[in-house]
Structure 1
Amino acid sequence: MLSDGPVSLNTTRVARRAGVSIGTLYQYFPNKQALLFATLERYMTRLVEAIENACSDSLGTTVDLMAGAVVKAYLKAKMAQSEISPALYQVAMELDPRRLAELATQRSEKAIEAMLCSAGDDRPTDPHVVAQTMTAAIYGTVPAFCPRVLSPVNGREAEKQLTIMFRSYLSAQQATSVGQRNTSLG
């Protein structure tokens, strides 16, 4: 897929490259679309697992650390698979990955929400909505610059900018939460 693109990919070549018979390949993947879908699913699972692990590791920390951890984990997973991203974007246009995207989004939102709920006094007023917003931001922003392979310098700058964006958003959420608590007390 990487050398000739997803359009030129065929199951015979995949079976040969994997060292299995075409019949064995068809036992697991009935056609080329199923094989491509499985590849896309594996890719998305790695991204989600990176977010889930970062969120789990960041439970009970500050929202600043949480923001940085989510961004760093997502970009690290994305960059670890950067050579296949352009081909997978092409695959996604040919297939219908809505179910995969929805599952990835839900898992990411759940992990981010649980992490935010552990923030103590820094906890946003509505962690669910904040988690949805953060998930939408990272899944929507990163693909805008990741279809091409980023240099290490540009990757670090992207991480820096996204972390600033998330920290600023979480800081604004905290200020809003404090303002709402003060209003209800007064």
Structure 2
Amino acid sequence: MILQLWYSHMNRPPPALLKPRKTPQQTRSAVTIEAIHLATIQVLLSGGVGRLTTTRVAERAGVSVGTMYQYYPHKQALLFALVERQFHLIETAMQDAATQLMGGDLKTIAHGVAAAWLDAKMADMVASRAIYGIAAEFDLSELLSRAARCMTEVIDALLASACDAHIADRPSVAFMLAALLGGSVRVVMEAESSEENFARLRRELPQACHAYLMAASRGAVP
């Protein structure tokens, strides 16, 4: 098993080879890309990654294979674009939520950040699970690092604006809160995926975030 995991990791294509050939510059092109992404998810759900081909995706999206190749030179680039898109949607959702939460108290910030995170991760559970299943095929270190920085910066800015707290080491607290959010959802999606556990996350995660921020505000977090 260890050798298989090592071999799989060594054969992951580097991100530089997964970039699209071009990015959409016009509304029509953006609509085409969205159709391709949606079709990719549908093909994944119907047959899994093993049966996914650019030809099948093109047929489902209603575009020519030539149009597909204008953007994605091969299947791996298409799948990576899907994963990258998911990261971008989540980052955007968190930034939008932070704009609404600025200046609130710690409870409002904790509950708002947790709710926004869960909403973003679970907006389309069927699609999220399909994308989650292919993520292991790629080297996502760059995307994960960017996402972690984004989350930490968003939370740090919120904590700086909090009307009822002063946290001495905001970057560390922001990092740990981001880890709490990401780790809890990862555990449920990877190992304990069920409606009951998702409902439990909805109830308990905001309270856990609030308790941590309150401890940090009182200086109980080193």
TM-score normalized by the length of structure 1: 0.88
Q: CA deviation at 1:154?
A: 4.5
Question: What whole-Å deviation, never above 9, does each CA across 1:3-33 have from its counterpart, x for those lacking one?
Answer: 1112221100011111111111011011111
- For this pair of structures, how many residues does the alignment match? 178
> What fraction of aligned residue pairs are identical, expressed as a percent?
37
Q: CA deviation at 1:51?
A: 1.5
* Other-structure match for 2:135: 92
Comparing 83-92 with 24-33, which one deviates more in the overlay?
83-92
Alignment of 1:7-156 (within 5 A): 7-147=50-190, 150-151=194-195, 154-156=197-199
Give the alignment partner of residue 168 of structure 1, picking from 200, 208, 211. Answer: 211
Q: Distance in 2 between matches of 1:2 and 1:66?
A: 36
Q: CA deviation at 1:167?
A: 0.7
Please list every run of 5 or more consecutive structure 2 residues that lacks an aligned counterpart in the other structure: 1-43
Contact 1:82 1:146 in 2 (8 A): no
Q: CA deviation at 1:98?
A: 1.3
* Other-structure match for 2:48: 5
Please list every run of 5 or more consecutive structure 1 residues that lacks an aligned counterpart in the other structure: 181-186
Question: What whole-Å deviation, never above 9, does each CA across 1:30-73 have from its counterpart, x for those lacking one?
Answer: 11111111100111111122211111110000011101011101
Contact 1:59 1:119 in 2 (8 A): yes
Q: Distance in 1 between matches of 2:161 and 2:140?
A: 32
CA RMSD of aligned residues (A): 2.0
Match of 1:7, SS? helix
Contact 1:29 1:35 in 2 (8 A): yes
Match of 1:109, SS? helix
Q: Distance in 2 between matches of 1:49 and 1:174?
A: 27
Higher RCO (C-alpha 8 Å, min separation 6): 1
Q: Distance in 1 between matches of 2:161 and 2:62?
A: 48
Match of 2:56, SS? helix
